[in-house]
């Protein structure tokens, strides 16, 4: 059984299927850390009702952390954060016009009161690790997975 087939603890949302090739680095890392996740494609601009419904129900479905990936005027993380009490980690997508600076600034410059943590442009793998670290603060199996990861990095 893959981590996407178990009861999800991490919810991944992305603005377009064009974000998937980058975000596969996130799902690969969640698999490596044995973190169950769900994945949805929904846009703050094109399908706002779908974003609202998914984000507003996430905590009650058992999700503990949300990862939101988007590019250009990347409002997705902030919109999701508006509808959930869960922590939101944003992944700004690299873009062809402005290299991802557009996505980064849209995501990271949240007004006071609605935080979105933000990894590097295309930082999909780090978003997965960060989500596992949040889970690891209260769930020993994920703390152990992060400890293992750090040991492996130190030995490489």
Binding residue for ligand RP5, selected from 58, 67, 70, 107, defined by CB under 6 A: 70
Binding residue for ligand RP5, selected from 11, 15, 78, 100, defined by CB under 6 A: 15
Q: Which of 114, 55, 48, 112 is nearest to 84 (CA)?
A: 55
- How many residues make contact with ligand RP5 (CB under 6 A)? 10
CB of 119 to ligand RP5, least distance (A): 15
Binding residue for ligand RP5, selected from 26, 33, 43, 51, defined by CB under 6 A: 43
Binding residue for ligand RP5, selected from 2, 6, 18, 109, defined by CB under 6 A: 18
Binding residues (CB under 6 A) for ligand RP5: these are 14-16, 18-19, 43, 70-72, 93
């Amino acid at each position: 059984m893959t981590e996407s087939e178990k009861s999800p603890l991490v919810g991944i949302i992305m603005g377009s299927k064009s974000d998937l090739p980058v975000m596969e680095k996130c799902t690969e890392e969640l698999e490596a850390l044995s973190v169950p996740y769900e994945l949805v494609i929904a846009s703050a601009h094109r399908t706002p009702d779908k974003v609202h419904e998914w984000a507003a129900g996430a905590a009650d479905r058992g999700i503990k952390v949300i990862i939101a990936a988007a590019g250009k005027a990347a409002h997705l993380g902030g919109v999701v954060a508006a509808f959930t009490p869960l922590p939101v980690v944003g992944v700004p997508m690299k873009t062809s016009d402005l290299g991802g600076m557009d996505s980064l600034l849209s995501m990271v410059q949240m007004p006071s009161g609605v935080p979105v943590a933000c990894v590097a442009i295309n930082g999909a793998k780090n978003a997965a690790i960060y989500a596992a670290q949040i889970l690891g603060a209260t769930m020993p199996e994920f703390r152990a997975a992060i400890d293992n990861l750090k040991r492996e990095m130190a030995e490489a």
